[in-house]
Amino acid sequence: MWVADGWKDYRLLDCGSGEKLERWGDYTLIRPDPQAIWRTPRNHPGWRRADARYARSSSGGGQWDKARLPQRWTVSYQDLTFNVKPMNFKHTGLFPEQAVNWDFLRRRIQGAGREVNVLNLFAYTGGATVACAAAGAKVCHVDAAKGMVAWAKENAKSSGLEDAPIRYIVDDCAKFVEREIRRGRRYDGVIMDPPSYGRGPSGEIWKLEENLWPFVELVTQVLSDRPLFFLINSYTTGLAPSVLTYLLESLVTPRFGGHTVSDEVGLPVEETGLVLPCGATGRWTAD
């Protein structure tokens, strides 16, 4: 498992009984987590003193008890700074376990010894975008949600990358890639974090188990002649990391060589010394 153990502003204090206790900068949050099915004695004092908790409703959804939280605040990872806030459906706008992928991307870009163009699809609030830009890459950031793209711009500004060569695109990812193919634009690295299920701006339905293969097949057409990496991240329950290996080895390796390594990503739990699993990542690299 790839473990995001390099944080100082984020800490996973404890987890269990369907929830996790986290420290985000100066604030302690309790949020649901479907992986934390074990029971915990909740000896950590943070369970009783948390600044906010997201409680699920029996009728679906849920809500925050967040009276002690500011509207938003920042957390830093190395030289990157991110704006976080409590959002609908338990999220904060940042997935801290993705720091292991940010580190991987920065190493690949900095070690390339040449200009690197990166395409970040389903790019959300831009954690990977700012990591790549900080490493010196040119980045095209694509997401269908206008608010998420605006948030990504704020994260770039907070990280001192306001003037970095980042293109921000609000669009359906598949339609954008089709246009890039027609334009002849090519990228040395691709990142994608596709949802399990979603709807496009014109009502298009996305189902990962049906659409991921043809979408990856499409995206391979915008790879340059010397691509560096192709990274797929997934939070879809039941999707084994080996599925991502099979996809990338079937669609990318026959054309460009290289190899794929896939694994779970996770966060270290301070109270127990164990690791909370947080999804899967597949990484194709040229060497």
pLDDT in tens, 134-153: 999 999 999 999 999 999 99
- Full-prediction pTM beyond 0.85? yes
Give the pLDDT of residue 200: 66
Using CB atoms within 10 Å of the CB of residue 184, give its burial: 0 to 12 exposed, 13 to 18 middle, 19+ buried: exposed
Q: Where are the domains of the chain?
A: 2-90, 96-285
96-285: CATH architecture: 3-Layer(aba) Sandwich (3.40)
Percent of the chain at pLDDT above 70?
A: 99
pLDDT at 201: 63
Return all residues near 223 (Cβ < 8 A) that are at least 6 apart: 186, 187, 188, 190, 230, 252, 256
Give the integer Cα–Cα distance in Å for 54 and 71.
15
175-230 pLDDT per residue, tens:
999 999 999 999 999 999 998 887 766 677 778 888 999 999 999 999 999 999 99
Taking the domain 2-90, which CATH number applies? 2.60.40.1180
Would the pLDDT of 81 be above 80?
yes
Whether residue 239 is predicted with pLDDT greater than 70 in this model: the reply is yes
State the pLDDT at residue 67. Answer: 80
Instruction: Tell me the pLDDT tens digit for each residue of 16-65.
Output: 999 999 999 999 999 999 999 999 999 999 999 999 999 988 777 889 99
Q: Is the pLDDT of residue 106 over 70?
A: yes
pLDDT value for 197: 82
Instruction: Please tell me the predicted confidence (pLDDT) of residue 215.
Output: 96
- Strands of 116-258, DSSP E: 117-121, 138-143, 166-170, 189-192, 197-199, 205-207, 229-234
Residue 88: predicted pLDDT: 83
Mean pLDDT for 6-25 is 98
Residues 281 and 233: beta-carbon distance below 8 Å: yes
Which of 243, 246, 230 has its CA nearest to residue 279?
243
Pairwise CA distance, residues 36 & 21, whole Å: 11
* Per-residue pLDDT band at 237 (split at 50, 70, 90): confident
How confident is residue 238, by pLDDT bands cut at 50, 70 and 90?
confident
> Mean pLDDT of all residues in the chain?
95
Q: Which amino acid is at 45?
A: P
